[in-house]
Each structure stands twice: as structure tokens, then as C-alpha cells.
Amino acid sequence: MNRQIKGFSKLSKQAKIEWLVKVHLNDHEDGMKLINSYMHRDSAVQKIHDEFIENTVANYYLPFGVAPNFLINGEQYTIPMAIEESSVVAAASKSAKFWMSRGGFKSHVISSKKIGHIHFIYDGHKDELVSLFSDIKADLLNSTSTITSNMRKRGGGISDITLVDKTQELDEYYQIEVKFETCDSMGANFINSCLEKMAKSLIDLSEKHVKTSDKKLEIIMSILSNYTPECIVHSEVSCPISELIDGPNFSTDEFAKKFKLAVEIARIEPFRATTHNKGIMNGIDAVILATGNDFRAVEAACHTYAAKDGQYRSLTYCDINDGIFKFWIQIPLSLGTVGGLTKLHPLVKMSLNILGNPSAHKLMQIVATSGLAQNFAALKALTTTGIQKGHMKMHLLNILNQLGATEIEKEILQQHFSKSVPHHAEVVNAFNDLRGSKGPEVEEYHA
């Protein structure tokens, strides 16, 4: 069957759905039913969702959970999290509760500058370009004055503009690097608009200033960088080692040492660092999504930052000094609490409400803390009981749901496996035994 289609974007939403069901789902009635069942019953809300992206045909739900009991800089928070992975919200909640009685999390923003570049090539002499740049710098800045006027009133705007010579790495390649303060907005559109305006002025002004017609300045592109090494937040916890956990086979001292070693392994071993940081991103992405921020941008920035010295390393650190255990995170986070989805998506609005409508700086502190809490919970489990114990509880529920277990069957089997970590096949066998028959064949569920 020919699956190519011209003018798809021009079709009505209904026509798009009909095409999809006909061509890709064999006209199956269930496909249509499923898509319709995922539409919001309030057509005004559905329209908002339809208009977030192009070619919307349905909504894709993620669970929206909350992790209470976070104490950050003395303030209590319940943190909203949108995530499909089991155990993440539970881990955040457990860490929050653990640290609440030990002084809570302390967090501060180190700096919140964002960076964008005009990437261009210039085939003249560098000295001419340096002199041109110094002549036109003020005009370049002025050319953005209408775009920056509101931001300047709010205390933001352009804070720096420099010419960067990159010709050692790429022939004739230069940048104009621009630094921005974007207050409570993430600022991507603002930054890109400023850069594009400046790039146009750069061409106009260079044509006026550089008289020799054979000198060519050509703009390649103008765009913000999602790497934000000057938009950094720090969050930490600390307590006397004696207040950490112990168990039947380990003392608080042993726990602290093992925990610190686990962090050190992730500092020197990229295989471990990747998983370690993935766990941190579980906590971060979930809050980023719930608050309508751009998790791809945050992921990209954090991973670049993790490799800033040439090797991919842990984003968290641990230290033990004079009997005090200290655990912290320092990461780039470019976030907004105004603009974007913040006033559009009803659950994003609610999330920000739950957090007390924070400023972007406060949200940076909350998000970094969520990442740190997640990493604490993961390392605590990994270095003591192992990760599967907690994971399998929820995993078990997912397998039982997949098998179509009733609420009573779920209760019986959860009780049955309360002390062990069952494998998929064991759950299926126990389920079949309980029903006294062979249940449905289900593919192994992987969390």
C-alpha cells in the first residue's frame, strides 16, 4: 500500500485521523476508538493541546505524581513530577522525608546567564575584523533595543557581547558571542530574535565600514546555545555521619564510605557515570516536564557539562570531613516560569501553583534538588539492598496489569511476593497457579 501523502498538514484533524487509521491501522475500528478515547472531553482544553504542535491526532498521557516533604532553604515543597517510570516518585519522596529531619536541602543559583552566537565566516585580516567589531559594537547592541526593551525593564537584557576567533579550529570561522539575562523566562525566542536582528545589523554595518569589496563577511547562523555553563545551580545536603542510615550488616560509617565510593566510581568511570546521571535526570526531567520546561535542552546541557573536562563524569559529588557527610549537585539549568507552556497547559499552571509560583531561580533550586534527591535514593539503595527490591514492587504491579489481574488477584500476588524479588516468569507462574489455568501469553515487561 502506498503510504505517501501530499498536503497532510492541510487536512482537518478528523481527516488526518481517518487517514492514519485507514492507512496504518487497517481501518481497524479499535484504532479510531482508542484515538477518540484519548481526546479531552472539554473541547476547549483539547484545542489548546491540538495547537501545541503540528498534526496532532491524540493526546499522549504520562502519569502526573507528586513528591511531598521537600524542605529547600527552609521552605516546604511538594514537587510535581510527570514521568512514566515506576519508583522515581517514591524515591524522591523517600529522600525528601529522610533529609527533612536532617535540615533539608540547601540550594542557591550561582549565575543565570544564557549564551547565544552569531556564527559567521570572514575572509579578511583578523585585525580589520577586530577594529570593525570595536567600531560597531554599540550599534549592534542598539539594533536590538526594541526587542530588549521589556526585558530591560524587568532587569534583564544583553549583558555582554564579544568577538571570538575560532579560525584555529575552522578556517575563517568567527563568532559574536552574546550573553543574556532573561529573568523568569527561559528566553529561547528572545535570545534568537536578538541574535537574528544583530546578525542583520552586522552585515549592514560591516558593508558600511569595510570598504574593500573583496572582504566577505557571511553569516552562517544565529542561535542560542543550549549549553549554559554560566547558568548554574548548586544544591546540597549534609549531616553528621552518625545520623545516616545503618543496617543489620553495616554501620553509618560504612554506609557513608560506600556511598562516597559509589559517587567516586561515577566520577572516574563513564559507564557508571552515564547510569548515575541517568538516575539524576529521572528526578530532573520529571519536574521539567511537569512545569512545562524543555527537557531536551536541559538534558543536552547537563550531559555537555558532565563532560566539560573532556571525560564524562558524575554530576554529583560527595565528601566526608570531620564526621560530616556532604552530598551535592552542581548543574546548568536554563528554565522559565513565564512564557512558553506556563500559561497554556492546565497541568503546568497547576504544577507551578503547587510550587508556589516560583521565580526561575527558585525553580532551578527545586529541580536541582529533585535530581540530587533521586541520586541519593538510587545510591542508597544500590549500596545497601540493591535496586531491584524497590523497583520490583512497581514492576510487579505493571506485570499484573499486563496479565489483566483483578484487584483481588493483585492484592494476593503482591502479598505473595512481598519478601522476594520475583522475575517475570515467576509472576506469570504464580498468576496462572492462582487462576488454576494458563493465563494469557504476555511479552516480558521491561521497566
Q: Which residues bind ligand MEV (CB under 6 A)?
A: 85, 275-276, 278-279, 282, 378, 382, 387
Q: Residue 38 or 271: which CB sits closer to ligand MEV?
A: 271
111, β-bridge pairs: 232
Residue 323 grid cell: 564526621
Residue 234 annotated to the active site: no
Instruction: Kindly state the smallest distance separating residue 380's Cβ from ligand MEV, in Å.
Output: 10
Distances (CA, A) of 262 to 134, 246, 390: 50, 17, 19
Residue 220 grid cell: 552562517
Q: Residue 266 or 405: which CB sits closer to ligand MEV?
A: 266
CA distance 331 to 301: 8
Instruction: Kindly state the smallest distance separating residue 278's Cβ from ligand MEV, in Å.
Output: 6
Instruction: Kindly state the smallest distance separating residue 231's Cβ from ligand MEV, in Å.
Output: 25
Instruction: Kindly state the smallest distance separating residue 116's Cβ from ligand MEV, in Å.
Output: 33
Which candidate in 28, 126, 216, 278 is catalytic?
278
Q: Which residue, among 375, 366, 388, has the nearest Cα to 263 in the 3D structure?
A: 375
Type and span of the H or E element at 368: helix 360-382
**Are the beta carbons of 291 and 345 closer than 8 angstroms?**
no
Distances (CA, A) of 43 to 26, 48, 114, 349: 28, 9, 38, 18
Closest-approach residue to ligand MEV (CB): 279
Q: Which residue, among 237, 196, 185, 201, has the nearest Cα to 343 in the 3D structure?
A: 185
CA distance 145 to 355: 34
Residue 208 annotated to the active site: no
Instruction: Kindly state the smallest distance separating residue 276's Cβ from ligand MEV, in Å.
Output: 5
Q: Residue 245 or 447: which CB sits closer to ligand MEV?
A: 447
Residue 395 annotated to the active site: no
Q: Residue 279 or 371: which CB sits closer to ligand MEV?
A: 279
Q: Which residue, among 110, 53, 5, has the nearest Cα to 331 in the 3D structure?
A: 110
Measured N-to-C along each axis, helices 270-290 and 360-382 cross at an angle, to the nearest 10 degrees, of: 140
Residue 245 grid cell: 542510615
Q: Which amino acid is at 315?
A: L
Other residues' Cβ atoms within 10 Å of the Cβ of residue 442: 14
Which candidate in 196, 236, 285, 294 is catalytic?
294
The contacts found for 194-197 with CB under 8 angstroms, 24 or more apart, are 194/116, 194/144, 194/147, 194/148, 194/158, 195/116, 195/117, 195/118, 195/222, 195/223, 195/224, 196/222, 197/143, 197/144, 197/147
Instruction: Kindly state the smallest distance separating residue 384's Cβ from ligand MEV, in Å.
Output: 13
CA distance 18 to 22: 6
Q: Residue 114 or 380: which CB sits closer to ligand MEV?
A: 380
Q: Residue 176 or 273: which CB sits closer to ligand MEV?
A: 273
Instruction: Kindly state the smallest distance separating residue 101's Cβ from ligand MEV, in Å.
Output: 24
Which candidate in 16, 49, 85, 299 is catalytic?
85
Residue 260 annotated to the active site: no
**Are the beta carbons of 126 and 167 closer than 8 angstroms?**
yes
Q: Residue 143 or 282: which CB sits closer to ligand MEV?
A: 282
Q: Residue 93 or 226: which CB sits closer to ligand MEV?
A: 93
Which candidate in 117, 276, 362, 391 is catalytic?
391
Instruction: Kindly state the smallest distance separating residue 304's Cβ from ligand MEV, in Å.
Output: 20
Active site residues: 85, 278, 294, 391
